[in-house]
Structure 1
């Protein structure tokens, strides 16, 4: 029966031919009721059908309202606000775990979206907490130049989550002797690349621009991987000579060497709306807590010296 069927946010996005962030936006607005099973959000088939009927202008048959979510610590669905948290680093999964325990009245939803697309989603009102690591090559500064340009007129707060090493993945033993960004100009070099809008892709494109290297010189530049591990794995398997990413992914994949070239700042961006200030305060308390920092310290490659520091406010 349809009452026994439920869908993930990915499945709904494919069925409706919309982005996953748009699905989260519908959940945030209360137009698409959802619940959590473990780390996964699900929507019942009946609720999806009711939404489609409303979108067509057809009055749906009223359904009983569920007042509690037994799969989410017994929290009442009424009055619980979904918050979309974008980004791909494991530190965000840890942060969401702390938010679920320590921030009343909210329900975090994870969206695995790149840095630039995350900021654009915030501009559109589709995300609440954006993680970003975007290098501005002209100033050498991370994130804030992009935030100034994309969130014009939006009062916001930028808080550091962590810093981490970024650089080049090369094959084990570095047989080509690659050592820096300028080496990407070598003829015949095979690249494993990230998707447009990701921080790693912006880092690569900025370095290519600064070093006068044309993207078309790199074989494989147009072939995109959706995460750091995918890039590192391409290099480890011998399908590519080089890729750009973070140190932690090289350790996870193994059989690949990492050349650190820059320490990137990984920040959180939040809009300073009146209705956000309570949970923003609670989030800052989590970031600055000894318990949270201790858990992040167990992960190699993180610099937590500025974690919880407010870097920029408008």
Structure 2
């Protein structure tokens, strides 16, 4: 096994003959060191080999005595009673939600998956996630999320709940040297653009606005220059490598050295499949969304509108 090799979570699951959720759990507990390359989590071959050797040693130690075997069996039983709950999306509000869920809902372990809105819904359709976040604008209707959810989750029983609303718009250099104020200004010659990856809510927002304003993607210099999160886009503008990019207000305040031009308030929703396995934790999740403690933490973050937080927008 070459020390230069690395594996994706899917490859590790196949090698160890375990589920991908178990791999995420090992990563979260620190048993498998990992790092991110683009949209994928990767584990070096040397770290995987070290984990396998530790597992072998633990097994040998457990087998050395009957008491040790009993302890191991109890530990396995306890582990198997914990159900991983995969939560997709990038917003810090999801990290706060996961923390409250782990604290308040017994029998679950929230796991975070950092993928875009469209890929999140596809992962739910495939049965790979439990709570997906989405902020996808349908340009024709002006509606967020529901048109996409209805199309992608055909035949499924699900619930859509609002997490928050937030301002989206343009990141520009300090002083807004190009005087950008509207979506149509993206057609100005000489602008260097930085984009988000396909499947992200920001990419869908951009493409819908370009379509509505008759701007062809090839008119944007840098349309193919992709970043995997808002922070990456804002940082490119702050460093002077790009003149404009699309993102949310909160990230602009974190990066600094840029201005934010608000153009739309986007609705950021959660989608959960309704089935017997999920009934208990869904009700607990709704209670968390309405709780004073959770709302206080979100209110401390600039740029969030919580007027509809916890509202059930659609239930099938």
Alignment TM-score, normalising by the size of structure 1:
0.83
- Give the whole-Å Cα distance in 2 for the aligned partners of 1:27 and 1:224: 27
- Give the whole-Å Cα distance in 2 for the aligned partners of 1:18 and 1:77: 18
Q: CA deviation at 1:45?
A: 4.3
Aligned to 1:274: 276
Give structure 2 stretches of 5+ with no counterpart.
1-5, 35-42, 54-61, 64-68
Q: Is the 8 A contact 2:163 2:269 kept in 1?
A: yes
Deviations 1:243-280 (A, max 9, x none): 00000111001010000000000000000011101000
Aligned to 1:211: 213
The 5 A counterparts of 1:214-293 are: 214-293=216-295
**TM superposition outliers: structure 1 runs of 4+ over 6 Å:** 38-44, 46-50
Aligned to 1:297: 299
- Give the whole-Å Cα distance in 2 for the aligned partners of 1:261 and 1:37: 40
Aligned to 2:315: 313
- Give the whole-Å Cα distance in 2 for the aligned partners of 1:231 and 1:177: 19
Change (3 A) 1:40 1:47: closer
Correspondence for 2:29 among 21, 26, 37: 37
Q: CA deviation at 1:188?
A: 2.2
- Give the whole-Å Cα distance in 2 for the aligned partners of 1:162 and 1:149: 23
Q: Is the 8 A contact 2:130 2:273 kept in 1?
A: yes
Give structure 1 stretches of 5+ with no counterpart.
1-10, 51-61, 70-74
Q: Is the 8 A contact 1:87 1:113 kept in 2?
A: yes
Task: Give RMSD over aligned pairs.
Answer: 3.0
Q: CA deviation at 1:18?
A: 8.8
Q: Is the 8 A contact 2:85 2:110 kept in 1?
A: yes
Aligned to 2:82: 80
Change (3 A) 1:33 1:111: closer
- Give the whole-Å Cα distance in 1 for the aligned partners of 2:51 and 2:32: 17
Deviations 1:104-154 (A, max 9, x none): 111111000000000000000000000000000000000000000000001
Alignment TM-score, normalising by the size of structure 2:
0.82
- Give the whole-Å Cα distance in 1 for the aligned partners of 2:289 and 2:31: 21
- Give the whole-Å Cα distance in 1 for the aligned partners of 2:311 and 2:26: 34
Q: CA deviation at 1:237?
A: 1.2
- Give the whole-Å Cα distance in 2 for the aligned partners of 1:32 and 1:183: 43
Which structure's residues are more often helix, by fraction? Answer: 2
Aligned to 1:13: 8
Secondary structure of the structure 1 residue equivalent to 2:260:
strand
Deviations 1:206-259 (A, max 9, x none): 000000100000011001001101101111111111100000111001010000
- Give the whole-Å Cα distance in 1 for the aligned partners of 2:136 and 2:195: 16
Q: Give the length in aligned residue pairs.
A: 283
